[in-house]
Chain A
Amino acid sequence: MDQVLGLTPEDWQAIFLTLRLATLVTIILLVIATPVAWWLTTTRSKLKPIVGALVALPLVLPPTVIGFYLLIAMGPSGPVGEFTQSLGLGTLPFTFAGLVIASVIYSFPFVVQPIQNSFEALGKRPLEVAATLRASRLDTFFTVILPLAKPGFITATILGFAHTVGEFGVILMIGGNIPGETQVISVLIYEHVESLQYAQAHSLSAAMIIFSFVVLLLLYGFNQKQKSIRVIN
């Protein structure tokens, strides 16, 4: 078997699949989480605690629980499954698309919360200033809110990406272990260990440790830098 950096082609396939999944999920999450975070920051609705709790649910639930209900919902007789079948798309479990949806749900709080925190830290004043400077809502979002909340968005991106790379339980429940389709790194490591291929499990696991450490280093290094140029208002 040709090995690159001590990893087999099977390993590399899993790595690329994982990166593709994490990138796609992160982009989708940023698009969905931003308006949700904004709503949670600004709303006076009585629904706020309910929505907040729903968003945070994946933080406390065992991944298997989420995976189990997603499997049922997306399965042939689940509501989502019936819908996708009626569109002629088949069912989502054991497909890459299914993994994307599951990961978006599972990593949602890790992206919403940093963005929401940075929105809350802004306070009302920059928005009022923008309004007195005749900026429209959209204009205000792109020229005031986004640049001032940038630290929150960077944290959210890193956490969303890293958390998706690291997930295991949900993927095993709904994605199984199909090489090139749903076999991500964490699942492949599990597979190596199950089949007693410890050397391969070692190299992949070591790669994951290095990756995670570098990500956290970036995150903390970035946060450190942010502190020295604190937003004043």
Chain B
Amino acid sequence: MDHNNQISLVLKWPRKSINIDLDVKIPAQGVTAIYGPSGSGKTSLLRCIAGLEKVKHCTLSFRDQVWQSAKHFVPTRQRAIGYVFQEASLLAHLSAADNLNYALKRANPGKPLATLEEVVELLGLAQLLDQFPDQLSGGERQRVAIARALLINPDLLLMDEPLASLDHARKQELLPYLERICHQYNVPVIYISHSLWEVSLLADHIVMLDAGRITKSENFLEAINSPDFPISQQEHISSLLQCKVMEHNEQWGLTRFTLKELTDPVVGQKLNEHSLWLQQCDLSAGQEVRLNILASDVSLSLSHHEDTSISNILPVTIISIEPLQHGLLMLQLALGESILRAKLTQRSVDRLALSVGQNVWAQVKSAALIQ
């Protein structure tokens, strides 16, 4: 990590509910997800970065600027941040347009990250500008709030579970906007979430928090492709593969993806190229994508069957078998340098006599494309 392009935070904050004690460095580029269960101190961490909490034992620097040290505290209004709160935070006495103008008038000097026209277009706000916050739906309010945070022209965008207060449908509506923002603008984003799905869509880097302590801070793809990645049982268990678009087959309406190795292959080493055929997408060959594969969409067989309707059959090695609830087991399978997760019944595992270290074939029924 480039020493000058990082956010460095040391925080000791004994609170009534939780004792926060952490020391973390976050890259000041791309999207960093702060991931952890509720009450693990995610929001407290973000509020300290924003300067909304004045904690005694906190040292914080952003790139070459010291935002907080023993003697020094830069107030929130002087930190070049944009902040999206968990629930709607629009100023209730101003229309959507005036909420945006409020930020524009007070924006950080320098070349603007985005113009008003751009964010209105990007977040689909044209129809909403004349409305007041109480006339907007929860999802619309968050879109205006995100636009407002961009218009302050931040050097760092902080988002505190911007989807948490929305129902499932609204989340699905807002997620594409978030993806667009994270990928379109060259501003580092720190994104708090307890949803692995959101993290899979957005994150380049992950910081995992548990009971006020950092359990992991690393590249997200590497993290989720390591066998000790903690899989929450509430979530749909899934795996995330970094893939490359190879070719399109017009006749079948399919696209072929190959698995990209996470680390650079050793020169001269023969690569075992794993391919997946999925429904055709409109991406050009060579483009990199992430594929999210639900554990319930993966089944195993002991031999390579040709007489099956499933066209994606990959050679894997079982690296762990862990019990889930209701007689189900989660198997982690090594696929090149990535990890594929499968959810099987205890009965299937017994019947096939599966054990750790065994080489088997994984059949993948479907995968979701994440750009």
Contact = CB atoms under 8 A, between A and B. Distances in A.
A125 interface: yes
Contact of A133 (B51, B88, B102): B102
A166 B75 CA distance: 47
B108 A129 contact: no
A61 interface: no
Interface residues of B, number: 27
A133 B52 CA distance: 12
A132 B82 contact: yes
A147 B93 CA distance: 7
Please provide the 6 A-B residue pairs with the shortest distance between their CB atoms, ordered closest to farther. A132-B83, A131-B76, A134-B106, A147-B93, A232-B134, A231-B92
A215 interface: no
A88 B77 CA distance: 48
A126 B108 CA distance: 20
Q: How large is the interface on A (under 10, 10 to 19, 20 to 34, 35 or more residues)?
A: 20 to 34
A108 B93 CA distance: 28
Given A133-B152, A134-B108, A134-B152, A125 B89 contact: yes
Given A132-B76, A132-B152, A133-B103, A233 B52 contact: no
A232 B152 contact: no
A144 B77 CA distance: 15
Contacts of A132: 50, 52, 76-77, 81-83, 149, 152
Nearest to A143: B102
Contact of A129 (B51, B85, B134): B85
9 contacts: A125-B85, A126-B91, A128-B83, A129-B85, A131-B51, A131-B52, A132-B76, A148-B92, A231-B93
A151 to B, nearest CB: 11
Interface string A214-233: 00000000000000011111
Interface of A: prevailing SS: helix
Contacts of B51: 131
A176 to B, nearest CB: 46
A136 B152 CA distance: 14
Interface string A131-174: 11111100100011001101000000000000000000000000
A127 to B, nearest CB: 10
Nearest to A132: B83
Given A133-B102, A150-B93, 8 more contacts: A129-B89, A130-B91, A132-B52, A132-B82, A134-B77, A135-B106, A148-B92, A232-B133
A129 B47 CA distance: 12
A44 to B, nearest CB: 13
Interface in B59-93: 75-78, 81-83, 85, 87-89, 91-93
Q: Most chain-A Cβ atoms within 10 A of its Cβ — which of B52, B89, B92?
A: B92
Nearest to A149: B93
A12 to B, nearest CB: 41
Interface string B139-173: 00000000011001000000000000000000000
A150 B92 CA distance: 12
Contact of A230 (B91, B102, B134): B134
A62 B77 CA distance: 48
A131 B89 contact: no
A136 B102 contact: no
Interface string B262-275: 00000000000000
Contacts of B103: 133
Most chain B beta carbons < 10 A, residue from A136, A147, A148, A233: A233
Contact of B88 (A128, A134, A230, A233): A233
Contacts of B91: 126, 129-130, 144, 148
A117 B83 CA distance: 28
Interface string B236-257: 0000000000000000000000
B134 A148 contact: no
A169 to B, nearest CB: 40
Nearest to A129: B89
Interface string B189-229: 00000000000000000000000000000000000000000
Contacts of B82: 132
Contacts of A130: 91
Given A126-B91, A148-B92, A232-B134, A133 B148 contact: yes
Contacts of B89: 125, 128-129, 233
A66 B240 CA distance: 76
Nearest to A233: B92
B88 A232 contact: yes
Interface in A7-25: none
A229 B152 contact: no
Contact of B75 (A125, A131, A230): A131
